[in-house]
């Protein structure tokens, strides 16, 4: 595993591994023990340009390659991940503080998304559309956009890089990938290594490890990429969307959330507790779909709260390498500071801590807060950490209002003994995804994934990848002679 952090601590441009030429290094730390994993000299604006130029050069031939031949690359990449699964899991644990459970979850999904990319290679289809003009044949071709820029986040870096990179490549595009600075290996160069070893031709996937302090908006503004696929915060996503619009680029934005898990008065409380605890605390709560808020009908609130608190107290926090650990470190000290500060502010505003976790460096133990004032900012924002907010409500109408009272609209869940009651509830929620009698954290390769409001623009997965990473081209053929008015 450690060889990843020595061998892959470089840029990957036009099929070559090479150091960046920037004047400073990104230092890659293990967030649990602060061990220095790698030092990577950053890419400059010139190297971003070189990466995009290489992608543009390679893309035309790739688009003309038989899709069955393209498909074989993804089949080999899948086999490589299966062969190296243990090493990749160790890298996930080391670089982002993911627990063994989380690493397994991420790798399982990454393999599923690669399987879908294999199928996606053969998915584009053309159409023949009727014309009101005699003798005219209207052909509509589905073609690659060309070059796609991908910016991936730190929380599920291996999965969320592959989730955009593999479909974009499968559909005949080339890609330049910029991973998050905290996960440059797992989210960037490791992905490139797998595709290189799988036989992807040079230039089709490039990885630039850099920082906006060095390159500004060069990654977004460059004239070559036609689509930018960004996963991250709504604050940065808003900027990405603005820059893309100014340059007439398409943006696919998978942003933050403030999801709620709702427990109605007829719910199976033990099951709802299990779903809620997982939905809030998986990967320390650093998941865009995590259940920030747990809303419980007042008639069952006392029993639910007692069971919920008891289960949260059993969650072991500590070394993510320990198979028993459920709560590992958050990604960095800034994140730990933000979580601790949010809890302090909530308590100062009148909230009650049913569980008050302590903090040791980047390890933040679980907290459970209740009695938050209705106007608490915490109820409206994304809380990227292991803090659950318990809120009681009186009846479904109030629950719907509370769930929707947020600028986000990504995921959510409702628990009830009556499935159709749950579906009727779900239809009233302004989200891109909602789940009945389950958790809030789900992603499946062929189901449209994305949010409403400030949770993003566009969808990923399945056939929606065609909308994201291809475009249509109308070519008409006039059989015989056309008539003209002059």
Q: Specify the CATH number for the domain of residue 235.
A: 3.40.605.10
Q: In whole angstroms, what is the distance from residue 451 CA to residue 319 CA?
A: 33
How far apart are the C-alpha atoms of 20 and 38, rounded to whole Å? 14
**Each residue of 133-145: pLDDT tens digit?**
999 999 999 999 9
Which of the residues 47, 95, 106, 254 is marked catalytic?
254
pLDDT band per the 50, 70, 90 thresholds, residue 483: confident
**Same domain flag for 198 and 340:** no
- Is 480 part of a structural domain of the chain? no
The answer to whether residue 204 sits within a structural domain is yes
Residue-level pLDDT at 331: 96
* Confidence (pLDDT) at 351: 96
Q: Are residues 67 and 197 in the same domain?
A: yes
Examine the domain organization and report whether 86 and 147 are in the same domain. yes
Q: Are residues 109 and 160 in the same domain?
A: yes
Quick one: 410 and 460 in the same domain?
A: no
What the block records as the tokens of 358 is: 């302590």
Q: Is residue 25 part of a domain?
A: yes
% of the chain beyond a pLDDT of 90: 99
Reported confidence tier of residue 446, pLDDT bands at 50, 70, 90: very high
Instruction: At 340, list the tokens.
Output: 């601790």
In a domain, residue 485? The reply is: no
Mean pLDDT of 37-49: 98
How far is Cα 154 from Cα 161, in angstroms, rounded to an integer?
10
pTM higher than 0.85: yes
DSSP state of 186: I
State how many domains the chain has: 2
What average pLDDT does this structure show over 16-43?
97
189 and 270, same domain (yes or no): no
pLDDT confidence of residue 227: 98
Answer yes or no: do 211 and 293 share one domain: no
**Do 26 and 50 belong to one domain?**
yes
Q: How many CB atoms lie within 10 A of CB 481?
A: 7
**Shared domain check, 156 and 15:** yes
Mean pLDDT computed over 415-421: 98
Q: Is residue 446 assigned to a domain?
A: no
Cα 278 from Cα 247, distance rounded (Å): 41
Look at residues 149, 144, 145 and name the one whose alpha carbon lies nearest to residue 49: 149
| Host domain of residue 65 | 2-255+455-474
Q: Could you tell me if 21 and 46 are in contact, meaning their C-beta atoms sit under 8 angstroms apart?
A: yes
Q: What's the pLDDT at 406? A: 96
Answer yes or no: is pLDDT of 2 > 70.
Answer: no
Calpha distance 265→454 (Å, rounded) = 30
3 state SS of 111: helix
211 shares a domain with 130? yes
Q: Which residues contact 290 (CB under 8 A, 6 or more apart)?
A: 257, 259, 279, 280, 282, 384, 440, 441
Residue 171 lies in a domain: yes
Which residue among 288, 365, 382, 396 is the active-site one?
288
For residue 449, tell me if it sits in a domain: no
Q: Is 302 a catalytic residue?
A: no
Q: Answer yes or no: do 231 and 376 share one domain.
A: no
Q: Which of 36, 159, 38, 156 is nearest to 98 (CA)?
A: 156
Active-site residue 244, yes or no?
A: no
In a domain, 481, yes or no: no
pLDDT in tens, 314-323: 999 999 999 9
Residues whose CB falls within 8 Å of the CB of residue 210, separated by 6 or more in sequence, listed in order? 20, 22, 26, 42, 43, 44, 47, 48, 178, 219
- Print the SS3 string covering 26-84: EEEECCCCCCEEEEEECCCHHHHHHHHHHHHHHHHHHHHCCHHHHHHHHHHHHHHHHHC
pLDDT exceeds cutoff 70 at 410: yes
């Amino acid at each position: 595993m450690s060889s990843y952090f020595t061998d892959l601590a470089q840029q990957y441009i036009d099929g070559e591994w090479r150091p960046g030429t920037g004047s400073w290094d990104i230092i890659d730390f293990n967030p649990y023990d602060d061990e220095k994993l790698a030092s990577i000299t950053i890419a400059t604006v010139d190297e971003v340009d070189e990466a995009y130029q290489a992608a543009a050069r390679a893309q035309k031939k790739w688009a003309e390659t038989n899709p069955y031949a393209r498909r074989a690359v993804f089949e080999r990449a899948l086999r490589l991940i299966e062969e190296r699964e243990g090493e990749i899991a160790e890298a996930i644990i080391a670089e982002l503080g993911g627990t063994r459970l989380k690493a397994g979850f991420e790798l399982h999904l990454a393999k599923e998304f690669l399987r879908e990319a294999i199928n996606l290679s053969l998915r584009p289809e053309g159409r023949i559309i009727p014309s009101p003009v005699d003798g005219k044949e209207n052909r509509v071709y589905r073609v690659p956009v060309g070059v796609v820029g991908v910016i991936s986040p730190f929380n599920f870096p291996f999965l969320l890089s592959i989730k955009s990179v593999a479909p974009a490549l499968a559909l005949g595009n080339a890609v330049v990938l910029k991973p998050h600075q905290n996960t440059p290996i797992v989210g960037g160069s490791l992905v490139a290594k797998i595709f290189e070893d799988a036989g992807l031709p040079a230039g089709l996937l490039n990885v630039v490890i850099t920082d906006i302090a060095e390159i500004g908006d060069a990654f977004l503004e460059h004239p070559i990429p036609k689509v930018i696929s960004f996963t991250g915060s709504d604050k940065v996503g808003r900027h990405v969307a603005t820059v893309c619009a100014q340059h007439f680029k398409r943006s696919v934005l998978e942003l933050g959330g403030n999801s709620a898990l709702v427990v109605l008065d007829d719910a199976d409380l033990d099951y709802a507790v299990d779903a809620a605890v997982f939905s809030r605390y998986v990967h320390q709560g650093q998941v865009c779909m995590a259940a920030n808020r747990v809303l419980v009908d007042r008639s069952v609130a006392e029993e639910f709260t007692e069971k919920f608190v008891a289960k949260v107290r059993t969650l072991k926090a500590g070394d993510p390498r320990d198979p028993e650990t459920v709560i590992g470190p958050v990604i960095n000290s800034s994140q730990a500071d933000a979580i601790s500060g949010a809890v302090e502010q909530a308590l100062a505003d009148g909230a009650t801590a049913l569980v008050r976790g302590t903090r040791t460096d980047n390890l933040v133990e679980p907290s459970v807060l209740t009695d938050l004032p209705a106007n608490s900012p915490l109820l409206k924002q994304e809380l990227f950490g292991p803090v659950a907010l318990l809120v009681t409500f009186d009846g479904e109408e109030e629950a719907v209002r509370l769930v929707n009272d947020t600028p986000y609209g990504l995921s959510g869940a409702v628990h009830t003994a009556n499935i159709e009651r749950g579906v009727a509830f779900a239809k009233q929620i302004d989200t891109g995804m909602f789940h009945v009698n389950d958790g809030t954290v789900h992603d499946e390769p062929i189901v449209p994934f994305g949010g409403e409001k400030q949770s993003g623009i566009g969808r990923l997965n399945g056939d929606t990848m065609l909308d994201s990473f291809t475009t249509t081209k109308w070519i008409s053929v006039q059989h015989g002679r056309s008539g003209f008015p002059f």
